[in-house]
């Protein structure tokens, strides 16, 4: 993240606030909730970090044996953790009512909002961790079983000068530089054409709706069709075995996004962004129930959405707004969130197939991300630009989860 210093500052401010500053939840609980969230994606890097923090802040060591050792109240977060992580559109006011109803294990609304913010933050951060290749591999030689080595030597970058990774990935694949250069030119060309077309004609509301529904439907099959055929199965075998040190923190480990796409029987409903926006609804609810976090999250969302250096690979003075917006909106599209004023035809024009596979994987099942997926899109782009993509995906995912959870809380209140 330090490749994007402005963003990093904003990220650390909000993370520090939710973990360390005054808030409804006791400090150890915050770290335990982070562990529960990271465990949905088997993210050992984050789990280990928060196991340490949990103990440092006075957490009861026995809780680390697994969910059957924690108070019922924390255990009750299981369902919302699972839904938020994989299918947030299923969260209803009934889930909220069940948690806040009177009784010895009930949650107050401020506590629940604090918990929801933590869960969404750590689900999304797991996407960033796997998308950037930061998860440790198991090592039986070491007492706690982990050492921090980057997956598949993923982070071969020299962070200071941001050079070696693109050279490594360009020489390491057989596409050749010519292909990836023409790929870059073609993308810039499409961006330019889209800008011009937008000035010439407006698509009708009906046409816009159709384009969204088409994109949403297609997004369901992006990975399930592609990945399992076009990548060797061995890429995934390790991920499918959930180790006990992770599974102890979750229930129903098999529940994920992809069952929903494969069976195809559940319909992914459309959430009209205009009906419940972060700016007009989510922000004020969060701020009212958990002071100041709304401002910090808002600053972070704006920061990542507007972050630009006006460069694309080797080109300077490029307006990348359309590209950033397509990335953000495509993530929301996979969660069923639609912006009335956005033409989803742009997503298809700007995001190539390999990039869609990458976005879908990092956002919906980050534990399956491979270096090969990372290398296969935008081959001319700098490592820092791909990290920028990961930041956009992470924040778009967090915002999508929050919108569904906060909408359910609002419905519970009205």
Q: Is 338 left (phi over 0), alpha (psi -120 to 50) or beta?
A: beta
Q: Provide CB contacts within 8 A for 102, sequence distance 6+.
A: none
- Please, are residues 286 and 116 in contact by the beta-carbon 8 Å criterion? no
Q: Give the whole-angstrom CA distance, residue 109 versus residue 342.
A: 34
- Please, are residues 134 and 150 in contact by the beta-carbon 8 Å criterion? yes
43 assigned to active site = yes
Q: Does residue 337 sit in helix, strand or coil? A: strand
Q: Give the whole-angstrom CA distance, residue 241 versus residue 231.
A: 18
- Please, are residues 327 and 393 in contact by the beta-carbon 8 Å criterion? yes
Strand partners, 315: 312
Residue count of the chain? 414
Q: Provide CB contacts within 8 A for 309, sequence distance 6+.
A: none
- Please, are residues 379 and 169 in contact by the beta-carbon 8 Å criterion? yes
Closest CA to 121 of 236, 43, 216: 43
332: number of CA atoms within 13 Å, CB side? Answer: 28
Q: Which residues of 58-76 are buried (b: 16+ CB within 10 A; e: fewer)?
A: ebeeebbeebeebeeebee
Q: What is the DSSP string of 127-181?
A: HHHHHTT-PPEE-TTSTTSEE---GGG-----TTT--HHHHHHHHHSTTHHHHHH
Q: Given 43, 157, 333, 364, which residue is catalytic? A: 43
Q: Which residues are known to be catalytic?
A: 43
């Amino acid at each position: 993240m330090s490749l994007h210093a402005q963003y990093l500052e904003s990220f650390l401010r909000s993370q520090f606030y939710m973990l360390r500053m005054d808030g409804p939840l006791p400090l150890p609980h915050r770290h335990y909730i982070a562990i529960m969230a990271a465990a949905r994606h088997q993210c050992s890097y984050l789990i280990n970090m928060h196991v340490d923090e949990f103990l440092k802040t006075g957490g009861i060591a026995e809780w680390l044996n697994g969910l059957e050792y924690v108070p019922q109240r924390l255990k009750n977060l299981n369902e919302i953790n699972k839904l938020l992580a994989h299918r947030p559109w299923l969260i209803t006011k009934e889930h909220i009512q069940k948690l806040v109803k009177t009784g010895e294990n009930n949650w107050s609304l401020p506590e629940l909002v604090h918990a929801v913010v933590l869960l969404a933050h750590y689900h999304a951060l797991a996407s960033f961790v796997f998308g950037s290749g930061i998860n440790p591999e198991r090592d039986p030689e070491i007492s706690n079983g982990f050492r921090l080595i980057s997956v598949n030597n993923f982070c071969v970058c020299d962070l200071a000068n941001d050079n070696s990774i693109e050279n490594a990935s360009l020489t390491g694949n057989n596409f050749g530089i010519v292909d990836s250069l023409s790929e870059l030119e073609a993308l810039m060309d499409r961006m330019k054409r889209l800008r011009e077309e937008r000035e010439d004609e407006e698509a009708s509301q009906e046409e816009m709706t159709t384009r969204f529904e088409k994109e949403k439907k297609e997004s369901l099959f992006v990975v399930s069709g592609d990945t399992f055929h076009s990548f060797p199965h061995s890429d995934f075998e390790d991920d499918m075995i959930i180790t006990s040190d992770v599974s102890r923190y979750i229930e129903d480990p098999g529940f994920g996004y992809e069952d929903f796409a494969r069976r195809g029987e559940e319909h992914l409903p459309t959430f009209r962004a205009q009906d419940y926006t972060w700016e007009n609804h989510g922000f004020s609810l969060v701020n009212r129930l958990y002071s100041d976090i709304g401002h910090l999250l808002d600053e972070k969302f704006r920061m990542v959405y507007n972050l630009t250096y006006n460069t694309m690979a080797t080109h300077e003075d490029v307006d990348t707004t359309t590209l950033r917006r397509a990335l953000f909106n495509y993530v929301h599209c996979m969660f069923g969130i639609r912006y009335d004023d956005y033409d989803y035809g742009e997503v298809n024009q700007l995001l190539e197939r390999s990039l869609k596979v990458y976005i879908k994987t990092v956002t919906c099942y980050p534990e399956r991300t491979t270096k090969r997926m990372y290398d296969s899109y935008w081959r001319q782009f700098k490592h820092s630009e791909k990290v920028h993509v990961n930041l956009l995906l992470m924040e778009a995912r967090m915002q999508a989860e929050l919108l569904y959870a906060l909408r359910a809380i609002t419905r519970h209140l009205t």
